[in-house]
Chain A
Amino acid sequence: MASELLSGSVPLEAYLLVAAVLFCTGVWGLINSRNAVRVLMSIELMLNAVNINLMAFSSYVDGQLIRGQVFSVFVITVAAAEAAVGLAILLSLYRNRVTVDMERFNLLRW
């Protein structure tokens, strides 16, 4: 990896490391956010990290068939659907609880 960096080209590992940082940031935000909207934003960060991985592999390992790009198009589609439904659930919850604090959404607590 170091020799490729010195010669000026971007190695595959660099993309994977950026995606790893993005994914871990998303996980931390998912666990620690108390605002429900921020939880949804963290999920989007994690999905983007996965997409970066798919795109990097599709370019470096599967350069002719680029199946990774097709998969990331599907991931983008599912992410859009997830965001729409998630925010609708959030609005519905907000109308019932008049708060966005995750600690007070205990409707399903046993």
Chain B
Amino acid sequence: MTIAASTQLISFLVLSAVIVLGALGVVLLSNIVYSAFLLGGVFLAVAGLYLLLNASFVAAAQVLVYVGAVNVLILFAIMLVNKREDLAPIPGIAVRRLLSGGVCAGLFVLLTRVVLTTPWAQGPEPIGEGATIRIGEHLFTDYLLPFELASVLLLMAMIGAIVLARRDVQAVDPGTGEAVDQGLIEKARTPLLVDQPPA
């Protein structure tokens, strides 16, 4: 994909404006549902940046995984824990925010200085459209082991998430003492460490 340089510049400016403003909205807005939707916007804009860099495969993965999975997961979590609660005020929170803001601004200045003063090496011409094929070659030759490890990691994360988020169910009906189908009877609230009732 080759588009005119000026078009590229304008798209870059628009996408970065969306990213920066959206990120600020994610951390600053008080309504967390708005934050979650803005986060989806930021993910989409980042996918647009990847398209500008001629990386169509990673852009597609970004849209599928981040917008399609992570953002939806976050929205589900918000809806599951959406209790309106008034947070207790903490003494000195304004000072804390200012201090951390100063630290983050300092970090930004440091990063900016590094970015602008380093003489970055000029690499070879990017391969452009062939990137997807090249990624496939990498994944099945020199990055085969990390690729397989990633699949094991995803399996572990899936099982771990199920174990952590599952409600503990009683396998024995407390009324009659008979074994019942798991999942029919749920305890309303269970502590982290469940004392098994004597069978």
Residues of A near any B CB (own CB < 8 A)? 1, 5, 7-10, 12-18, 20-29, 31-35, 37-38, 40-42, 44-45, 48, 51-52, 55-56, 58-67, 69-70, 72-74, 76-85, 87-92, 94-96, 98-101, 103
Contacts and interface: CB of A to CB of B under 8 A. Distances in A.
A20 B150 CA distance: 27
Contacts, number: 250
Given A22-B23, A85-B160, 19 more contacts: A28-B27, A37-B77, A41-B26, A44-B74, A48-B43, A48-B46, A55-B53, A55-B58, A63-B123, A73-B58, A74-B150, A78-B153, A80-B70, A80-B154, A87-B161, A88-B162, A92-B192, A103-B88, A103-B90
B154 to A, nearest CB: 6
B53 A25 contact: no
B70 to A, nearest CB: 5
Among A7, A35, A70, A100, the most chain B Cβ lie within 10 Å of the Cβ of A70
Q: Is the interface of B mostly helix, strand, loop or mixed?
A: helix
Contacts of A15: 49, 53
Given A24-B105, A31-B100, A69-B57, A81 B46 contact: no
A79 B107 CA distance: 23
Nearest to A63: B126
A17 B112 contact: yes
B165 interface: yes
Contact of B115 (A16, A40, A73): A16
Contact of A73 (B19, B54, B135): B135
B137 to A, nearest CB: 10
Contacts of B190: 95
A99 B191 CA distance: 14
Contact of A25 (B27, B120, B160): B27
A48 B154 contact: no
Interface in B13-66: 16, 19-20, 23-24, 26-27, 32, 35-36, 39, 42-43, 46, 49-50, 52-55, 57-58, 61-62, 65-66
